[in-house]
Amino acid sequence: MAATDLSAEIEQRVLELCGEFKQGITYQIIQNDMPQLKLDTIVQVINKLLATSRVDMLKKDDDVLVFKLRDPGTIHRIKGAEPEEQVVYKIIEECGTSGIWAREIRAKSNLHLNTVEKVLRKLESKKLIKSFNSVMAPKKKSYLLYELEPDRSLTGGAWYSDQQFDSEFVDILNQQCCRFLEDKLTSARQVAGGPIAVCNTSYVSSKDVLKHITLIGITKVRLTIEDIETILDTLVRLTIEDIETILDTLVYDGKVERSISGGGGGGGGEESVKLYRIVSSLLPTPNIITIPCGVCPLIKECYHVGNVTPVKCRYMKEWLNLEW
Amino acid sequence: MSLQLMKLCDKVLNEYYGNIVAQVGKMLFERGSHPLRDIHRLTGLPRSKVAEALAVLIQHNLVEVEEWRPNIPSYKLLHDRIFLILRFPRYVFLVREQFGEEGEMVVDVILKEGQATASHIIVTSCIKLLEASENAAGGSSITSSPFELKHVTLRNHLIKLIENGFIQRCPSPQTLGKPCPTMSIKEDELHSFPPELLDLKALQQEIQARRAGNTNPDISHPNTDVLWRINYERFHVEFRDSEIRNSIHRRVDPLAGECLGAMLKLSYRTSDPWAPTLNPVSVAEIRDQLKDLKYLNQYLKILEEQSGGCVQLVGDAGGGQYRLNLANAVNTLTHALIYNIIQDRYGSKAARVFRLIHKNSMMEQEQIAELSMIGKKDAYTLCSRLFRDNFLQLQELRKTYAPSPANKTIYLFHVDINSVVRNILEWCYKALYNLIVQRETRGSENRRLLEKRTRVDSIVENLRQSGGTDDQIKEVEEMLSPSERALVEQLMTIQDKLFDAEIGLDETLFILQMYLYYSS
């Protein structure tokens, strides 16, 4: 029949287009390619392709539908598997790097929880998917495709090792950044040409800080007893954003000042750069802290009568070198 | 007004003016302004004693007279002034730095007397200075000629202090013979010294008579009804300015501090030093003041950026118009002070959390942990610790008020600087009170020892004056055993330490009080 021939032809053409545009095609592209076609026909063809799972339908940010050729590998991998496995695999695949909980898979697939778990175990043993624990909810297991890395929001990025916040690492970086900026200020003080020149040279961009940090090599290696690939992955790479977070903590410590430079003068296309500069506190140590009452944990309970009184105070006596 | 402040005032009055004055002061603090009759009734003190106590308080500018009912005066305690007594050493020190020894003596006498006539001030300080120089010379062979003119230099210093506003004329009663005098003074009389008030010859006569040992010479001065007293505000302007200058000095460099100092001085020519924003000054004027400063324009730019809103550019006339916003400056200083206190008391991470919340106004715990880069548990602990000590405040957000597990209540942390300041202020009062109590206790525990030492010292002094031999002196000195001597030494260092701490604490108090002044 001519109609089927036509639709087969269109199918072929759509697939060709998909092959041409690796990032996917929209309705608009199909329409432009075959202006004689009606929207209905295109929809029919697309639906057929989707049903035979030869293309994927995706949605872009601006709500435009995009069609992409399905990776032949996935078809191959899941081929011959049981339909449950296919369904579950598809659900997990859809979630991409953000992972999905078993419970949600069950809700989406309408399968019984036991079945889902069985299927998951099977897929895991076939090394098609893997499980991991998110830092947000360490007790809930999430699944994602084997070859994907979990999203930063789930692993916590560079700051987490083994789902634990690595505060020591943060502290070390914090100190190192601070030291680097301090050195910059000392060298800037030697610059001739007035206070503004000193001020400007003491500013450092986050990029430079990152360069310095990578250079001195404070990156941690998280060793797990997995294969060599994992080791390569776990070598945590610090990104500019990571360093900026660290520098921001210094801003909140009151040690550093942030300023934003507008793209290096006339370049136009250049992005604005965040600059950091170390500053000293406006005031010296407040005097109240230098006396025992300033750091006394019991100051609230201290009255002229009772068990905690200034006369009986041990801290006071220690401070005054009296025996008690 | 608080319990701590009351306790502190009570202690200070007790220490400086004795028990009865303290009792009257406490009653006035607790109950506000009252007439004599009620004070007498409420304190249970004899009427004459109450009257004396009130006279002392009025003399020292601590009590004001108000008209309570027609022709019945009531007395109002100026409690803010009371713990300014603890600041006296700082006033004296400041005058010493700016006006030298003579100025110091003048202010010292006025502070001790509360209100005094110019002649009294000059005579007393002159005698003190002469005594001090005699002691320093170590003998009686005083060359008299340069000291003859001492009262003239002292008068000049007094006039300089008055003209600079450190000392002001007390208001005088305008209606004589009424039970409630209305005190008032003309603006231009406040800081000018009419030369006819002093009779230099009479001054010299009195000094000589006093020096000869006559304690009550019958010499009359023309100024008996003109009294002078300290102008606290003027001193506080100096303190505040030096705090601001020092902060810039620390943040940028000494020259920037100098630059700001010059701007302050220029601004005072045209504006009230206590206004939140001063009138603008132009770059040309500043350049006139700081001719040697090489990078003036650059410094001004840096000051504008880094002084925490203190220096503001308002126009381009005259090479650029800069305005000083002292309210902002004090605000910035107070914030820095609070951050420092938190950092030193709770650790730098707590300070980070506090600053983070302060900058972002309202924050949830999760966000705090994330942005401050502190482990979640630690961040929670820090938040709750700061919350417990009233540095943070909690805002509850609910969708509905019906309790249900489904709609989670959101808790937002935020900072109310005003309450934090008041909190720390309270805490400072308490600390100050504790220090005074500690000092008193140390003194009274060892009273006998101290008395013995004073006795020994005075005997030694007498022997020296009367020309006793070294053996005699040594014998008397041995009345104090070495261990006693060591104890006295230790006691003295402790007293000094406590006293230094009190003065230091006052600096913290000062910044906080400035903040409250500008925020009200």
Q: What is the pLDDT of residues B460-506, one digit of tens each?
A: 888 887 777 778 778 877 877 888 888 888 888 998 999 899 988 99
Are B98 and B137 found together in one domain?
A: yes
The residue among B39, B517, B510 whose CA lies nearest residue B246 is B510
Whether B329 is in a domain gets the answer no
Specify the pTM: 0.78
Measured CA to CA, the distance from residue B345 to residue B366 in angstroms comes to: 24
Structural domain count of chain B:
5
Q: What is residue B451's three-state secondary structure?
A: helix
**DSSP track, B219-249:** ---TTTT-EEEE-HHHHHHHHHHHHHHHHHH
Domain boundary among B77, B105, B136: B77
Task: Say whether A293 and B345 touch across the interface (CB within 8 A).
Answer: no
A287, A290, A321: best to mutate for the B interface, most B CBs within 10 A? A287
Are B18 and B129 found together in one domain?
A: no
Measured CA to CA, the distance from residue A222 to residue B409 in angstroms comes to: 38
Residue A160 per-residue DSSP state? E
Measured CA to CA, the distance from residue B440 to residue A316 in angstroms comes to: 13
Average pLDDT, integer, range B127-143: 67
Are B211 and B256 found together in one domain?
A: no
Domain boundary among B60, B77, B94: B77
Whether B319 is in a domain gets the answer yes
- pLDDT surpassing 50 at residue A212: yes
Whether B353 is in a domain gets the answer yes
For chain A, which residues make up each domain, given as ranges? 2-70, 76-155, 160-278, 287-319
Q: From chain B, pick out residues whose CB is under 8 angstroms from the CB of A282.
A: 247, 250-251, 308, 332-333, 336
Are B218 and B89 found together in one domain?
A: yes
**Domains A2-70 and A76-155 agree in fold:** yes
Stated length of chain A: 324
Whether B336 is in a domain gets the answer no
Task: Say whether A288 and B431 touch across the interface (CB within 8 A).
Answer: yes
Are B405 and B426 found together in one domain?
A: no
Kind of pairing between the strands at B393-397 and A160-161: unpaired
Measured CA to CA, the distance from residue B337 to residue B511 in angstroms comes to: 8
User: A69: distance to nearest CA of chain B, Å?
Assistant: 39
Are B112 and B224 found together in one domain?
A: yes
Whether B265 is in a domain gets the answer yes
Residue A253 per-residue DSSP state? T
Q: From chain B, pick out residues whose CB is under 8 angstroms from the CB of A170.
A: 373-374
Q: Which residue of B has its CA nearest to A245?
A: B371
Are B287 and B255 found together in one domain?
A: yes
What was the pLDDT predicted at A91? 80
Q: From chain A, pick out residues whose CB is under 8 angstroms from the CB of B501.
A: 287, 290-291
Whether B335 is in a domain gets the answer no
CB B30 within 8 A of CB B10: no
- pLDDT surpassing 60 at residue A53: yes
Are B383 and B444 found together in one domain?
A: no
| Residues 6 or more apart whose Cβ sits within 8 Å of residue B124 | B109, B116
Report, in this order, helix, strand and coil percent for chain A, each rounded to 5. Answer: 50, 15, 35
Whether B338 is in a domain gets the answer no
Whether B171 is in a domain gets the answer yes
Average pLDDT, integer, range B101-118: 89
The residue among B161, B156, B186, B168 whose CA lies nearest residue B230 is B168
What was the pLDDT predicted at B387? 92
Q: What is residue B186's three-state secondary structure?
A: coil
Measured CA to CA, the distance from residue A75 to residue A80 in angstroms comes to: 9
Q: Amino acid identity, residue B197?
A: L
Top-ranked range on mean pLDDT: pick from A127-136, A230-239, B16-25, B295-304: B16-25
Chain A with chain B: Cβ pairs closer than 8 A: 142
What was the pLDDT predicted at B144? 46
- Cα B42 from chain centroid (whole Å): 31
Instruction: Report the DSSP beta bridge partners of residue B396.
Output: B411
Fold of the CATH domain A2-70: Arc Repressor Mutant, subunit A (1.10.10)
Are B93 and B205 found together in one domain?
A: yes
What's the complex ipTM? 0.75
* CATH label of the domain that carries residue B46: 1.10.10.10
Q: Which domain holds residue B296?
A: 234-324
What was the pLDDT predicted at B20? 92
Q: From chain B, pick out residues whose CB is under 8 angstroms from the CB of A290.
A: 501, 504
User: A253: distance to nearest CA of chain B, Å?
Assistant: 5
Average pLDDT, integer, range A243-262: 80
Q: From chain A, pick out residues whose CB is under 8 angstroms from the CB of B253.
A: 195
How does the average pLDDT of chain B come out, rounded?
85
- Tens of pLDDT, residue by residue over B230-252, are 999 999 999 999 999 999 988 88
Sheet with A100-101, strands from edge to edge, namely A100-101, A141-145, A129-133
Q: From chain A, pick out residues whose CB is under 8 angstroms from the CB of B352.
A: 249, 252-253
| CATH ID of A76-155, from 3.30.2020.10, 1.10.10.10, 3.40.630.10, 2.60.120.10 | 1.10.10.10
Measured CA to CA, the distance from residue B64 to residue B486 in angstroms comes to: 47
CB B142 within 8 A of CB B223: no
- Tens of pLDDT, residue by residue over B386-429, are 999 989 999 888 777 776 776 678 889 999 999 999 989 999 99
B346, B434, B445, B497: best to mutate for the A interface, most A CBs within 10 A? B434
Partner residue opposite B298 with nearest CB, options A195, A252, A289: A195
A161 at the B interface (CB within 8 A)?
A: no
**DSSP track, A70-127:** PPHHHHHHHTTS-HHHHHHHHHHHHHGGG-EEHHHHHHHHT--HHHHHHHHHHHHHTT
